[in-house]
């Protein structure tokens, strides 16, 4: 089946069944903008970046938790599903929810670029749109290719209206409702 503006590759329910089976085989899938996508398996440097962001979040906002690999329902139009590298939300936000949870309480999603050919389209184009459509206030992209952080904020009409870029090594002030100052200097150690 081809993807059109009106018809996705498959229904969200079909994706959920396929994703469960693929996860058992060590493959991570996402369903964004009506298209099935394979998410790269995390590397050790990516894990260190997420650990560092998590530590900064815990120290400055102990009322929140950065949930790694939390499956989220995104996009109202095509009922997309994404597994960001981190989802910042109040403690207990996902209690009682299944593998694919509502993004209603998520304050920020964090993605770290992969070293694959699909990261440009996926992390820089499709995910900002999907996360904005879901109403997530902040999308933090840690771009290991350009060695910079990109903060997408102020979602309006399915798009983020504000983009802030900072090179690794510069302090990054994440806007409200996050309100965290992120030291990005260590990121320089975790790039190729």
Mean pLDDT of 43-58: 94
| pLDDT top residue among 168 and 116 | 168
Residues β-bridged to residue 149: 142, 166
pLDDT tens digit sequence for 134-177: 999 999 999 999 999 999 999 999 899 999 999 999 999 999 99
Strands 28-32 and 148-156: unpaired
Q: Structure tokens of 166?
A: 């900072």
At residue 18, the pLDDT reads 67
Residue 72 has pLDDT above 90, yes or no: yes
Q: What are phi and psi of 31, to 5 degrees?
A: -135, 95
CATH topology of domain 42-190: tt1808, chain A (3.90.1570)
Read off the pTM: 0.79
Whole-angstrom Cα distance, residue 54 to residue 1?
40
Q: What is the pLDDT of residue 78?
A: 53
pLDDT above 50 (res 23): yes
Which pLDDT tens digit goes with each residue over 173-184? 999 999 999 999
**Mean pLDDT on 61-82:** 85
- Please check whether residue 140 is in contact with residue 109, taking contact to mean a CB–CB distance below 8 angstroms: yes
**CA distance linking residue 152 with residue 138, whole number of Å:** 6
| Alpha carbons 40 and 50: distance in angstroms, whole number | 15
Average pLDDT over every residue of 118-124: 71
Number of neighbouring beta carbons within 10 Å of residue 26: 7
Q: Write down the domain spans for the chain.
A: 42-190
């Amino acid at each position: 089946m081809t993807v059109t503006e009106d018809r996705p590759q498959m229904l969200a329910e079909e994706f959920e069944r396929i994703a469960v089976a693929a996860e058992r085989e060590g493959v991570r899938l996402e369903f964004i903008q009506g298209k099935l996508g394979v998410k790269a398996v995390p590397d050790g440097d990516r894990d260190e970046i997420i650990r560092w962001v998590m530590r900064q979040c815990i120290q400055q906002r102990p009322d929140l938790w950065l949930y790694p690999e939390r499956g989220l329902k995104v996009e109202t139009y095509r009922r997309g599903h994404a597994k960001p590298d981190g989802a910042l939300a109040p403690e207990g936000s996902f209690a009682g929810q299944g593998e694919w949870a509502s993004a209603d309480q998520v304050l920020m999603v964090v993605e770290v670029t992969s070293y694959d050919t699909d990261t440009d389209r996926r992390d820089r184009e499709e995910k900002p749109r999907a996360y904005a459509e879901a109403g997530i206030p902040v999308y933090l992209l840690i771009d290991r290719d350009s060695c910079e952080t990109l903060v997408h904020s102020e979602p309006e009409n399915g798009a983020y209206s504000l983009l802030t870029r900072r090179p690794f090594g510069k302090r990054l002030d994440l806007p409200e409702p996050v309100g965290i100052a992120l030291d990005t200097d260590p990121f320089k150690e975790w790039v190729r």
